[in-house]
Structure 1
C-alpha cells in the first residue's frame, strides 16, 4: 500500500512537470545554433543618448528651444497609455507620491525602453536580455508553456515564453508585478496585464520591437508601442554599477541632482 502510494506520488509529480524536449546532442544543438540570429554587441534605446541631467539629447535640444521633442524616446510611460477609469485613478495616485522616489533598476517592461544599455544572448533553449542595472529576462524558447495559475505569481520581470518565426522572436510575458512599484516611471498596470512582443534585427545596427500590452483592469484597449534600439558605440563591454551614489532629489517640481555628499551642508 505504501509503495503504491509513493509510486502514485511520483507519477503525479511527473505529470505536473513541464513536458520539455530531451536535451539535444552536441551536433544537433550546433545545427540549432546555426539557424538562430546573432545580435551581438550592446544596444541603446533609439533617441535616448542620456545626458547627466537624465534627459535624452533629443529632449535637451527641444528644451533649449522651448519646443516639445518631435520624437519622444520613452514610449512606455504613462501619458501614452489608453487608460480607463481605474487606470486614471492609479495614475493620479502615482503622481501624488512620485516625487523623489528612487529605483533599484528598470524592471519589465521599462528595461525594454530605458536609458540603460542592453545585450541579447541567444541560445536554442532561451534568449537572455540583460541591462546595466542587472535586470535580466529569461525568454524560454524550448517549447515550454507558462506555469499553471497556481504555480506562478507576479514578479518584477514576469514569466516569458517565446518562439522564432524566421529571424523574429515572438514573446508572450505574463505575471508582471505593477511596473510602477519597482520603477517610479513605470506605468501603473495591473498584475494581470499581458505583454506580446515581436523582436527582430533590421540591417546590422538596429533592433525593432513591436509591443502590445493588454490589461482590461486599467486600459480601454490594447496599448501598442513601436520600440527601437541602435547599436552602442564607444564601449565594448557591459559595466554593472552598484548605484550607491544616487543623489536624486525633488525640488517640488522636478527631480534634480544634489551636490556630492562631501559638499552638502552639515545637518544639525
Structure 2
C-alpha cells in the first residue's frame, strides 16, 4: 500500500508538471502568433481621432482652439522641396488658388468631383477618422468621402513598378516597439497632396505612435527623387475622440456655387 501511495503521488506531480508545460507552450505560441500578425491590444490606437489642433473647431469638434495646449503643436507643413523645373509651376498654381480665394470663389479641386483625397491627404483628418487594429491589419476609415485605407501587417510591399496605382496606394506596416511604421507606394498620378506632382516611384513612410493615451502622432516622409530635391517631411497630430461614431458621408456633386455677379454656377473639373 505504501508503494502505491508513493506511486500515485509521483504520478500526480508528473501530471501537474505536464499541465504547466502545456500551458506554457500554448501561451508562448499565442504570443508569437500575436506578434507575427501585428495584433497588440496594449498599443491602444483603436478608436476615433480628430486632427489636432481641430480643423473644424466650433463645427462639431470636441475642442475649441482657445486655452492651453496639452501637447506641443507640430510645426506647419513646409512647402514641397520640388526641383526648380517643377517648383515654378507649383508656385504659379498656388497663386491662382490664392487669387480665387481673394475673390471668394472656390478653387477647383478633385473633391468637387467627389473624388477621395487619397494618400497622404486622407491622413490629415479633415473630418474625424477611425482606426481599427485587427490581427494582420490596421484599417483607417476617414469620414470625409467615406475613405477606407488598409495597412497589411503580414504582407510584402510591391515595387513601385509592379504596384497598380490606387488613390490610397499599397500600404504595408510593421510594429517597431510602440511605433507603427507604414510604407506606401503606388499612388495615382491624379492624387496630388497640396497640388504637388509626383512620379510613379514616390514612396510614403509614416511613423505612427501614441504620445499618450489621448494623443497620437504621425511623422510623414515623402520621397520622390524624380520630383523632390530631398525628402519632404512633416508631422500630424491627432486627439482621441472617445465615443465618436463615424458618420455617413455620401458625396453628391458639389461643383455648384453661388457667384455674386453671375448667380448659380457650375465648375468644370478636368
Do they superpose with TM above 0.5? yes
Distance change >3 Å, CA 266–CA 90, structure 1 → 2: closer
Distance change >3 Å, CA 170–CA 46, structure 1 → 2: same
Q: Is 1:225 aligned to residue 234 of structure 2?
A: yes
Offset at 1:236?
2.2
Offset at 1:185?
3.9
Could you tell me which of 125, 129, 134 is aligned with 1:118?
129
Distance change >3 Å, CA 192–CA 34, structure 1 → 2: closer
Q: Aligned partners of 2:256, 2:215: CA distance in 1, in Å?
A: 32
Q: What count of residue pairs does the alignment treat as equivalent? A: 210
Q: Aligned partners of 1:266, 1:215: CA distance in 2, in Å?
A: 38
Q: Which residue of 2 aligns with 1:136?
A: 148
Could you tell me which of 135, 145, 150 is aligned with 2:156?
145
Could you tell me which of 28, 35, 53 is aligned with 1:47?
53
Q: Aligned partners of 1:81, 1:150: CA distance in 2, in Å?
A: 23
Q: Which residue of 1 aligns with 2:248?
A: 240
Q: Aligned partners of 2:110, 2:91: CA distance in 1, in Å?
A: 18
Distance change >3 Å, CA 198–CA 173, structure 1 → 2: same
Offset at 1:30?
10
Q: Aligned partners of 1:145, 1:266: CA distance in 2, in Å?
A: 47
Is 2:119–2:191's contact at 8 Å kept on the other side of the alignment? no
TM-score by length of 2: 0.64
Q: Aligned partners of 1:208, 1:153: CA distance in 2, in Å?
A: 29
Is 1:48–1:73's contact at 8 Å kept on the other side of the alignment? no
Offset at 1:28?
3.2
Distance change >3 Å, CA 265–CA 44, structure 1 → 2: closer
What SS class does the counterpart of residue 42 from structure 1 fall into?
Answer: strand
Q: Which residue of 1 aligns with 2:176?
A: 165
5 Å matches for 1:27-42?
28=30, 32=34, 33-34=39-40, 37-42=43-48
Q: Aligned partners of 2:205, 2:89: CA distance in 1, in Å?
A: 23
Q: Is 1:81 aligned to residue 80 of structure 2?
A: yes
Q: Aligned partners of 2:57, 2:171: CA distance in 1, in Å?
A: 32
**Larger radius of gyration, structure 1 or 2?**
2
**For each residue in 1:16-49, what CA deviation from the matched residue of structure 2 results, as whole angstroms up to 9, or x when unmatched?**
xxxxxxxxxxx83896145652323211111133
Q: Which residue of 1 aligns with 2:10?
A: none
Q: Aligned partners of 2:265, 2:166: CA distance in 1, in Å?
A: 40
Q: Aligned partners of 1:31, 1:205: CA distance in 2, in Å?
A: 28
Q: CA RMSD in A?
A: 3.6
What SS class does the counterpart of residue 226 from structure 2 fall into?
Answer: coil
Distance change >3 Å, CA 90–CA 149, structure 1 → 2: same
Q: Aligned partners of 1:266, 1:109: CA distance in 2, in Å?
A: 31
Distance change >3 Å, CA 215–CA 86, structure 1 → 2: farther
Distance change >3 Å, CA 49–CA 192, structure 1 → 2: same
Is 2:110–2:116's contact at 8 Å kept on the other side of the alignment? no
Deviates more, 1:216-225 or 1:42-51: 42-51
Q: Aligned partners of 1:80, 1:151: CA distance in 2, in Å?
A: 29
Is 1:36–1:124's contact at 8 Å kept on the other side of the alignment? no
Q: Which consecutive unaligned segments of at least 5 residues does structure 2 have?
A: 1-28, 67-72, 98-106
